[in-house]
Structure 1
Amino acid sequence: METVGLVLGNLRKVHHFALNVKDMAASRYFYGQILGLHELTGEEIPSTLKSLVEQGKVANFMTPDGVILDLFSEPDLLPPNADPKYQFTRANHLAFDIAPELFDHAVEVLKQNDVIIDHGPVSRPTGRGIYFYDPDGFMLEIRCDPQN
């Protein structure tokens, strides 16, 4: 029988993750200043996106492990419900890993910046996590492995 689709193991890694955002300035501040992701500038910007970045329609960030997060400006974007607890996309959340000793500080940064917390911090056998929303109501998680 012929194999249909991708052969197990051929996919190497996540290349990028793209989000539509209503307020580019608020989202750039959130991902760059609050979460501390590196915003791509100059020669770091993919050539295919340079004109969109220059027009303020796209911003690109790099996560600590090299995955690119693309933000696409959609100023007319409205979720079906203003309350972010009512999920409106098929994506559930994007999780960032942090060292266990930095987890509590990350929670404080979120609180100091009045970020809307969905739930947490929670402790599980797999570690600790906190779930919160970006300016467009997309759920994010900061999680860490259990401390030894």
Structure 2
Amino acid sequence: MAKQKVESLGIAVGSLRQVHHIAFNVQNMAASRHFYGNILGLHELEGDEVPSTLIKLKAAGKVTNFRTPDGIIIDLFAEPDLFPPDSNPEKQFTRANHLAFDIDPKLFDHAVEIIKQLKIAIASDVVTRPTGRGFYFYDPDGFMIEIRCDPLDE
């Protein structure tokens, strides 16, 4: 059967460049750092590798970041009081925080406008940080998605 091309009603096909990061809520930061760093062997970001917006959170033990071999960042956010409705992770994905896609800074505002025009549920309006801008919204199942971009070169 031939593959049908799906007409895009939203962000132009090909505009999202790559997965920028994946964020997980974790109950036990020490256990999660051990798992991702020592068991999976991922590189933990330290020193100048840590994004400037996360330095204070990392120092407080509230976030840890790892880089996969293909460059995707996994953010672990400490949520010690998080108890999902079901302890079986196959039944709920409450431990995941969001999936972030990178987009060209020149296309960011247009993409945000499209999401708003389509009346997609929004988690938070545009957030501006020294590392760029992000916009958070929900997929049809309530999982948070972020589109983010680096700062525009001025």
TM-score (norm 1): 0.56
Counterpart code for 1:75: P
CA distance change for structure 1 residues 90 and 69 in 2, over 3 Å: closer, same or farther? closer
User: For residues 86 and 64 of structure 2, what CA distance do their matches in structure 1 show?
Assistant: 25
Deviation at 1:6, TM superposition (A): 1.0
Residue in 2 aligned with 1:41? 46
Q: Distance in 2 between matches of 1:89 and 1:51?
A: 25
List per-residue Cα deviations over 1:80-135 (Å, max 9, x = no partner): 122334334497xxxxxxxxxxxxxxxxxxxxxxxxxxxxxxxxxxxxxxxxxxxx
The answer on 1:17 being equivalent to 2:22 is: yes
In 2, Cα distance between equivalents of 1:57 and 1:37:
19
The 2-side partners of 1:51 and 1:66 are apart by 23
Letter matched to residue 60 of structure 1: N
Whether the aligned pair in 1 keeps the contact of 2:23 and 2:76 (CA below 8 Å) is: yes
Matched to 2:56, the amino acid is S
**Aligned residues between the structures:** 90
1:80 aligns with 2:85: yes
Q: Given the superposition, is the C-alpha separation of residues 38 and 81 from structure 1 closer, same or farther in structure 2, using an over 3 Å criterion?
A: same
Residue among 48, 58, 61 paired with 1:56: 61
Contact 1:23 1:75 in 2 (8 A): yes
- The 3 A distance-change label for structure 1 pair 63 and 74 is same
Whether 1:66 aligns to 2:82 is no
- What is the aligned-residue identity percentage? 64
* Superposition RMSD in Å: 2.2
| Bigger relative contact order (CA 8 A; separation at least 6) | 2
The answer as to whether partners of 1:80 and 1:88 remain within 8 angstroms in 2 is: no
The two structures have a TM-score, normalised by structure 2, of 0.54
Distance 1:11 1:88, change over 3 A: closer
Structure 1, unmatched stretches of 5+, are 92-148
Taking the TM superposition and a 5 Å limit, the aligned residue runs for 1:103-122 are none
